[in-house]
Amino acid sequence: MKTTFHDPLELTILATGLGCPEGPVICDDGSVLTVDIDSGRILRTAAEGSVSTVATPGGGPNGLAVGPDGLGYVANNGGFLWTDVGGVRLPMDLATHSNEPPDFGGGWIESVDLTTGEVTVLARSCGDRRLTGPNDLVFDEIGGLWFTDHGKLRPHDVDRGGLYYLPPGGTIQEMAYPLLGPNGVGLSPDGRRVYIAETMTGRVWAWDLTGPGEIDRAAASLAVPHAGTCLVATPFTLDSLAVEEDGRIAIGGIGDGIVVVTPDGQEVEVYPIPGDVTTNIAFGGSDQRRAVLTLSGSGRLAETTWPRPGLKLQAGG
């Protein structure tokens, strides 16, 4: 694996005071939707920088995408424990290394009317397995929803996470289980491969698809229980991801900036963002080179011009 480190990214700050922002979605009017995990809100940062609340679903809204019906869809982790360290809110009780609240009732997938703020809970479980940390989500070409469940951490044990699929008008299907801290999820430009980034291991996993919501089980790896192929194992702590137009996978690298992996896993690029916690990247603009990033350590939303165009998402989100 060849790793290339670039100069730190030059950023323009779009908004501050956003709590713990994640899940950026660049809208056609130039505004940016984000979630604030800490306050349980969905926010809109207008092109001129003003910030307004779109909805307050509560819990811990963690990922956001816009569906083919124009609604926002949210992966809600159900809430975290928090610790204040030097003015920074961290989503964990550092004393116990736990992030599960004592009254935790599970996570869920929900839809949000982005005009009225009305919130509808769509699912809280897959079969008899309760969702404990829905994290990131992406739509495919038929309006099916791929999402990860990161799980929760407790003082002496952790949940095993998974990759799930919600077909249009259907019920949640388990696609890959168990995973260790699955976070970002994305689809290749042709829609025939799904990727996830594991936070705890620094690995990027891939599954080939024969169609929307259909993993190619004949080609799946038999070496691991979840049948995925490890594209690359990195030394980085990985968060959410977005895919570029040429198939590269761009991932929030927590303390390192943006980590980019080629589709064959042979090359890794690092675009540093010093002194913050980089969790998400989203692409948009007329040339898809507008890159919007969530800096969750400082509660800021930033943008930069990306060296290559990003992939335009299905359903605009």
Q: Please report the pLDDT score of residue 315 as a whole number.
A: 61
Residues 74-104 pLDDT 10s: 999 999 999 999 888 899 999 999 999 999 9
Q: Which domain holds residue 54?
A: 2-316
Q: Please report the pLDDT score of residue 18 as a whole number.
A: 97
Number of independent structural domains in the chain: 1
Single-letter amino acid code for the residue at 76: N
Cα separation, 308 vs 9, in Å, equals 14
Helix extents (H) in the chain: none
Residues 139-152 pLDDT 10s: 999 999 999 999 99
CATH of the domain at 154: 2.120.10.30
Bridge-partner residues for 12, per DSSP?
303
Mean pLDDT of 195-199: 98
Phi and psi, residue 168, nearest 5°: -55, 125
SS3 at position 274:
coil
Are 151 and 98 contacting, i.e. CB atoms less than 8 angstroms apart?
no
Q: What's the pLDDT band for 111 if we cut at 50, 70, 90? A: very high
Residue percentage of the chain with pLDDT more than 70: 99
Measured CA distances, 230 to 193, 198, 256 (Å):
13, 10, 21
- Asked if the model's pLDDT at residue 316 lies above 70, the reply is no
Tokens of 67: 């569906």
